[in-house]
């Protein structure tokens, strides 16, 4: 997938990758243009990666996110990781 963000061209190969914040932003911008199956695989992969990061550092959910979830709901999410 290639994404031009107005100033930079990002090109991504298939497979697992470590992404910078700018690269993740480009992936999210390009995702709507993928075929349905590719987008579903990307969504699942990004969700899995986010869950792994949050599981490794569950305290990052507290105070670092803006949400309208009740504190107990956020605690249940953190507990399920």
Give the pLDDT of residue 64: 63
User: Looking at the 3D structure of the chain, how many domains does it have?
Assistant: 1
pTM for the model stands at: 0.68
Terminal CA-to-CA distance of the chain, rounded, Å? 30
Pull the structure tokens for residue 21.
């914040």
Dihedral of CA 42/44/46/52: which sign?
negative
How far CA 26 is from CA of 32, 33, 45, 75, in Å, comes to 11, 12, 15, 30
Q: Provide the 10 A C-beta neighbour count for residue 67.
A: 10
pLDDT per position as a tens digit, 30-64: 999 999 999 999 999 998 888 888 778 777 766 66
Pull the structure tokens for residue 71.
């504190």
Domain assignment of residue 73, given as a range: 2-80
């Amino acid at each position: 997938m290639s994404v031009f963000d107005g100033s930079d061209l990002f090109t991504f190969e298939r497979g697992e990758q470590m992404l910078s914040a700018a690269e993740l932003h480009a992936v999210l911008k390009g995702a709507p243009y993928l075929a349905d199956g590719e987008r579903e695989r990307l969504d699942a992969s990004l969700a899995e990666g986010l869950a792994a990061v949050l599981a490794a550092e569950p305290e990052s959910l507290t105070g670092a996110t803006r949400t309208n979830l009740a504190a107990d709901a956020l605690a249940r999410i953190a507990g399920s990781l």
